[in-house]
A and B are shown apart, each in its own frame.
Chain A
Amino acid sequence: MNNQNLKEEILRMSGVHPEKCMRCGKCSGTCPAYSEMEYHPHQFVSMVDNGEIEPLLNSESLYKCLSCFACIERCPRGVEPAKLVEAIRLIAIRRQGANHMTANDVPALLDADIPQQAIVSAFRKYSK
């Protein structure tokens, strides 16, 4: 897929309108995972808008987003950056053999108390 198609695919999946962004940076100001990310929420928006998708697809940032929706809630323009992250992450992990986490990885990550919910959620987020 070329970049234009990728961009359109992302916008279609996410329903996001990146052109609404006024570059205020509130998403990145509110993001709890900011420090772990190579590309930050506001960059997701501007990079998708500019068609720079590949760097995002290959970035670990995709797996740092907590889906806490703080950026969605607080964006004054209703841009919803987290939905872009989600769409790009899905495109990445839907590729053959691109699962970020596999069943084999799980046992090592467990402790006695970890709720099922965490495992299920992580699986949803990180693999297909």
Chain B
Amino acid sequence: MQRVGVFVCWCGSNIAGTVDVQAVSDALKNEPGVVFSTNYQYMCSQAGQDIIKNAIAEYKLTGIVVCSCSPRMHEATFRKTAAAAGLNPYMVEIANIREQCSWVHKDILTGTEKAIILGKAAVAKVNLNAPLTPGETPVTKRALVIGGGIAGIQTALDIADAGFPVDIVEKNPTIGGKMAQLDKTFPTLDCAACILTPKMVDVAQNENIRIFSFSEVAKIKGFVGNFDVTIKKKARYVKEELCTGCGACTEKCPMKKVPNEFNLGMDTRSAIYIPFAQAVPKVARIDPDACNMLKKGKCGICSKVCAAGAIDYTQKDQYIEEKYGAIVVATGFNPISMDKFDEFAYSQSKDVITSLEFERLTNAAGPTAGKLLRPSDHKHPHTIVFVQCVGSRCDSCAEKGKEYCSKICCMYTAKHAMLTRDKYPDTEVYVFYIDVRTPGKNFDEFYRRAVEEYGVKYIKGMVGKVTPEGDKLKVQASDLLANRQLQIDADLVVLAAAIEPDKSARPLATMLTASMDTNDFFTEAHPKLRPVESPTAGVFLSGACQGPKDIPETVSQAGAAASKVIGLLAKDKLTGNPCVAHSDEMMCNGCSTCERVCPYGAITYEDKEFRMPDRTTKIRRVASVNPAVCQGCGACTVACPSGAMDLKGFASAQIMAEVDAICK
């Protein structure tokens, strides 16, 4: 039996005004287990806390009920008080007689009556409380960053700068991501490569950073502070440690007609290739689908010309296992496929391109060496039509496209239009828009400059049909402000395709037990207050995997994610929330129902040997909860058919005792 002390707070007149505090402390004195009951003006004050501490000592209290304000206000205070007096802090229960009683009821009789009932419920609960101790787990002081775009790069650099080792896993042969493909960046128009490539070099040179390029995460086990990750290093048929990146092999390779993915297929590369000049690591890779040696066993030229002896046609996928304390997801985005939007004739004409293709067409390192020439005939286009919101902001019942705004298109389209007019003033540039969205520092000014200084023709309306005919693209569109339909003979049409999360994100989320929204963007732990954390402890979000973002936003989120990781890795041990689920193994059926509802993947199963009452042994599958991962929601407790699963601090028996006390 507990020895319970009851402490009724007046809160000045806040409680005492509508609750007869004396009556409450008197009434509760008679409750089972209560050995001491008193009231005081301000329980949370130093003097009030001293009353509690003294009573704990004097009456050898094992449990405390404070009838006061909301537990959200002072539960932590009174727990500390109890701890200071040598009582387990989880032996404290609060009866909320201010916010949920004195403040909402005017009549002193009803207020008092209800306060007594709430006090009784708290006493009933505390009678069933048990001391709880938060568990501790050690932290592996190494972080994993999945994705080597600007988001992953920035996160890795920031973590490494704080002195923690970081690994980057990048599925492509080089880090750099989408930003490496961009030409200029808005709104300052500095060249993307000029600001990105130094960072890529920093990554390569940082002692704390390892890059697993052309690699994927194959398996993730464990939990916050203690993740076990298997990384699949895909065969690139070139020994990374030997290759010097001299490029001799790529020049001599006879298979030169492979579409170059870095330039989105607008030119070709060789079967052995280095993605681009500033690639990190600058190591060649053989494309097994194109290489004659790998397909037919004939050729072997690259091996002959390689002075470093780096070519290895027999290389196999390698699996590497590593431990991490924190994982940052930075898997980024891709433009959506234009397949479903062929009213814009993307599949019918080479001269209908996406904005990312346009970036490559204007990039000095691109297929046209930075000259704006249209893909079909390499002629300079004189009339260019930009179409915004292609596949963005679509209603779900339209059955194609995305419901969200892709956020970056308004600005990069303004950039494209402005740069075109700047470089080629003889070009007519039309931008069809639904709304121009420019909330960002210097963004609207930038857009206005495109219109006012560079003469870009912004038209409020939408293109309805693009008809390639002869060497023209006949664009039919609406001009809503002029209330007319336009027919424009364009040379080039640029579609601002919606962006979507990378396809690798969904299987990754499953491995991480991290949640995603219906669009496959990772969900943050709280949309406002914890925007860079995933609800799964130890998993953090960086960049466009969480939602559409431009570069400055991505970089700031990357830094924020890094600081959260640093905060985690700086700890030697993690203290958990002791109010977690636990399973009574004798009652557990091993049915996996609890595992299915656990949002955190905290429940696992093991086969355990049990001694039966008849002295035989029996092997049974039983659930076990990892207290470091469990967050204490209690979903499992209700899902459990046998009632084996219970929640510490909010046990079924405790809640039912409260129900009984209230209903008595």
Contact = CB atoms under 8 A, between A and B. Distances in A.
A30 to B, nearest CB: 3
Nearest to B483: A40
Contacts of A78: 395-399
B477 A22 contact: no
Contact of A28 (B397, B401, B434, B461): B461
Contacts of A29: 432, 461-465, 476-478, 485
Interface in B400-414: 401
Q: B389, B461, B485 — which one has the most chain A CB atoms within 10 A of its CB?
A: B485
B608 interface: no
A23 B464 CA distance: 13
A91 B118 CA distance: 64
A34 B485 contact: yes
Nearest to B461: A25
A24 B485 contact: no
A22 B401 CA distance: 15
B478 A42 contact: yes
A26 B464 contact: yes
Nearest to B462: A26
Contacts of A35: 485
Contacts of A124: none
Interface string B450-482: 000000000011111100000000001111100
A52 to B, nearest CB: 15
A29 to B, nearest CB: 3
Interface string A25-48: 111111100110000101100000
B573 interface: no
Contacts of A76: 389, 393-395, 398, 401
Interface residues of A, number: 23
Contacts of B401: 76
Contact of B464 (A22, A31, A79): A31
B497 to A, nearest CB: 13
B312 interface: no
Given A22-B393, A23-B434, A24-B462, A30 B480 contact: no
Contacts of A31: 464, 485
Contacts of A77: 393-395, 398
A70 interface: yes
Overall SS of chain B's interface:
mixed
Given A28-B461, A29-B476, A76-B393, A22 B434 contact: yes
Q: B395, B434, B478 — which one has the most chain A CB atoms within 10 A of its CB?
A: B478
Interface string A48-87: 0000000000000000000000100011111100000000
Nearest to A20: B395
A42 B477 CA distance: 12
A100 to B, nearest CB: 24
Interface in B471-517: 476-480, 483, 485
Nearest to B433: A24
B368 to A, nearest CB: 30
A30 B397 CA distance: 19
Contacts of B343: 30, 74
A30 B476 contact: yes
Nearest to A30: B464
B480 A23 contact: yes
Nearest to B398: A78
Contacts of A75: 398
Interface in B370-408: 389, 393-399, 401
Contacts of A74: 343, 464
Contacts of B460: 25
A70 B464 CA distance: 9
B2 to A, nearest CB: 60
A26 B391 CA distance: 12
A76 B401 CA distance: 8
Contacts of A34: 478, 485
B477 to A, nearest CB: 4
A26 B395 contact: no
Q: A25, A28, A77 — which one has the most chain B CB atoms within 10 A of its CB?
A: A25
A20 B393 CA distance: 11
Contacts of B393: 22, 76-77
Nearest to A72: B398
Contacts of A24: 389, 434, 461-462
A85 B574 CA distance: 65
B656 to A, nearest CB: 48
A43 B398 CA distance: 20
Contacts of B394: 76-77
A119 B27 CA distance: 91
Nearest to B459: A25
Contacts of A30: 343, 464-465, 476
A26 B398 contact: no
Nearest to A75: B398
Nearest to B480: A25
Given A22-B434, A34-B485, A28 B464 contact: yes
Nearest to B391: A76
B297 to A, nearest CB: 51
8 contacts: A22-B434, A24-B462, A25-B479, A28-B461, A31-B464, A74-B343, A75-B398, A76-B389
Given A25-B460, A28-B485, A40-B485, 4 more contacts: A22-B434, A23-B434, A43-B483, A76-B401
Which 3 interchain pairs have the tightest Cβ spacing? Answer: A30-B464, A29-B464, A78-B397
Interface of B: 343, 389, 393-399, 401, 432, 434, 460-465, 476-480, 483, 485
Interface of A: 20, 22-31, 34-35, 40, 42-43, 70, 74-79
